[in-house]
């Protein structure tokens, strides 16, 4: 079994640097995929209320039979733009959503709870964060963090709260390396977690420069890309429903990208996102 490095977060908790994501995986398929992943050696799983597979993820976790304390489970609040998240009522709604996620997962606590999108146009993420502080204080969310936040939103939280998000989960892959946001995180003690770390398995995985590096090391392009994340100090959560790929993506120890490789990967940056720009994102 591969040894996965871990990162110490700003509250002292540790997170595996490589985890397993389940976006766009149907509930039943999530059960099988999560179980396969844990049996392969993953110890960190990333789901979200909006993925509608927390129940399947929970069954996969239970089925794998690994002691709970060895696992690192993340889920996310769907702070839908259709709802009012302001005031005491908004905070109660957060706590109810959290209870619902825990019940679906069949867990007594999660290791990490994230605000899924900042939706800055609603001005409610600061109030939501106060409810997150309560969840962190009572220990049912061992750590709390955010996703898709930019410096303006992170600054706003820092002004009002002593609880700094342990990490910010953002779109990040060699085509979209997020240098500025990573520098901000480093300065403020916030870890960086990459979503779509493999560029959603699209054009990134056929980049000629990456194919060349993969051939040089006798590895796959996906493994080279994940190695780049690890060596960049980023936490990555690749998704796959294919058992051979689930194992392949975990098998990234035992080789190292040298300086020239790292530079060649960096040179593939296009600056193009695959997902929406979080500053304007407001679906349902
Ligand atoms: P990834 O970058 O992880 O790519 C997943 C795609 O790549 C799938 O189509 C998969 O196919 C394919 N793939 C996986 N491994 C390989 C491989 N070794 N070789 C070739 N193809 C491969 O994309 P995601 O968008 O799923 O991101 C990962 C996770 O990040 C999500 O599952 C979710 O947990 C999180 N996320 C969070 C967001 C947020 O807003 N916070 C937004 C988006 C994602 P197949 O499954 O068929 O094997």
How many angstroms does the Cα of residue 222 sit away from the middle of ligand 1?
11
Ligand 1 within 6 A of 101 CB? Answer: no
Provide the pLDDT for residue 150: 98
Provide the pLDDT for residue 230: 98
Burial state string for 78-103 with b = 16 or more CB within 10 A and e = fewer than 16: bbbeeeebeeeebbebbeebbeebbe
How many angstroms does the Cα of residue 246 sit away from the middle of ligand 1?
11
Structure tokens at 174: 């060699």
Task: List, as one string, the DSSP characters of the chain.
Answer: -PPPPEEE-TTS-EEESB-EE-TT--HHHHHHHHHHHHHHT--EEE--GGGT-HHHHHHHHHHHT--GGG-EEEEEE---TTS---HHHHHHHHHHHHHHHHHHHT-S-EEEEEES---GGG--HHHHHHHHHHHHHHTSEEEEEEES--HHHHHHHHHH-S---SEEEEE-BTTB--HHHHHHHHHHT-EEEEESTTGGGSGGGG-HHHHHHHHHHT--HHHHHHHHHHHTT-EE----S-HHHHHHHH---S----HHHHHHHHTT-----SS--TTT----
Ligand 1 within 6 A of 118 CB? Answer: no
CA distance 3 to 100: 33
Counting from 1 in the atom list of ligand 1, the atom nearest the Cα of 242 is 48
Handedness of CA 231, 241, 49, 73 (dihedral sign): negative
Ligand 1 within 6 A of 147 CB? Answer: yes
Provide the pLDDT for residue 2: 58
Ranges of each domain in the chain? 6-197+234-254
Q: Which of 221, 216, 238, 227 is nearest to 262 (CA)?
A: 227
Q: Which of 198, 220, 222, 283 to mutate to test the pocket of ligand 1 (most atoms within 8 A of CB)?
A: 198
Half-sphere exposure of 8 (CA within 13 A, CB side): 2
Structure tokens at 208: 């000629």
Provide the pLDDT for residue 3: 83
The dihedral over CA atoms of 6, 9, 14, 18, expressed in degrees to the nearest 10, equals -40
- Distances from the Cα of 250 to the Cαs of 29, 94, 184, 194, 261, in angstroms? 19, 34, 28, 15, 20
The CATH architecture annotation of domain 6-197+234-254 reads Alpha-Beta Barrel (3.20)
CA distance 235 to 18: 6
How many angstroms does the Cα of residue 130 sit away from the middle of ligand 1?
31
Handedness of CA 176, 116, 192, 199 (dihedral sign): negative
Counting from 1 in the atom list of ligand 1, the atom nearest the Cα of 22 is 32
* pLDDT tens, residue order, the chain (284 aa): 458 999 999 999 999 999 999 999 999 999 999 999 999 999 999 999 999 999 999 999 999 999 999 999 999 999 998 999 999 999 999 999 999 999 999 999 999 999 999 999 999 999 999 999 999 999 999 999 999 999 999 999 999 999 999 999 999 999 999 999 999 999 999 999 999 999 999 999 999 999 999 999 999 999 999 999 999 999 999 999 999 999 999 999 999 999 999 999 999 999 999 999 999 999 77
């Amino acid at each position: 079994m591969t040894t996965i490095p871990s990162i110490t977060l700003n509250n002292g908790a540790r997170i595996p640097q490589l985890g397993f994501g389940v976006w766009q995986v149907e509930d039943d398929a999530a059960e099988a995929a999560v179980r396969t992943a844990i049996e392969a050696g993953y110890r960190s799983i990333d789901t979200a209320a909006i993925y509608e597979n927390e129940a399947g993820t929970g069954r996969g976790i239970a089925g794998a039979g690994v002691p709970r304390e060895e696992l690192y489970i993340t889920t996310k609040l769907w702070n839908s733009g259709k709802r009012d998240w302001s005031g005491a009522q908004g905070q109660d709604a957060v706590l109810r959503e959290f209870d619902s996620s825990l019940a679906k997962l069949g867990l007594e606590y999660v290791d990490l709870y994230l605000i899924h999108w900042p939706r800055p146009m609603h001005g409610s993420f600061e109030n939501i964060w106060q409810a997150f502080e309560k969840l962190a204080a009572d220990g049912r969310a061992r750590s709390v963090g955010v996703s898709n936040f930019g410096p303006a939103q992170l600054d706003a939280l820092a002004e009002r709260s002593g609880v700094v998000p342990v990490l910010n989960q953002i779109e990040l892959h060699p085509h979209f390396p997020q240098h500025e946001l990573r520098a901000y995180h480093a300065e403020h003690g916030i870890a960086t977690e990459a979503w779509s770390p493999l560029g959603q398995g699209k054009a990134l995985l056929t980049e000629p420069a990456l194919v060349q590096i993969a051939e040089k090391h006798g590895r796959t392009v996906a493994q080279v890309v994940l190695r780049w994340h690890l060596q960049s100090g980023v936490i990555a959560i690749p998704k796959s429903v294919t058992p051979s790929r689930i194992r392949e993506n975990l098998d990234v120890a035992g080789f190292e990208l040298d300086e020239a490789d790292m530079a060649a990967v960096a040179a593939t940056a296009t600056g193009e996102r695959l997902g929406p720009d979080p500053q304007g994102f407001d679906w349902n």
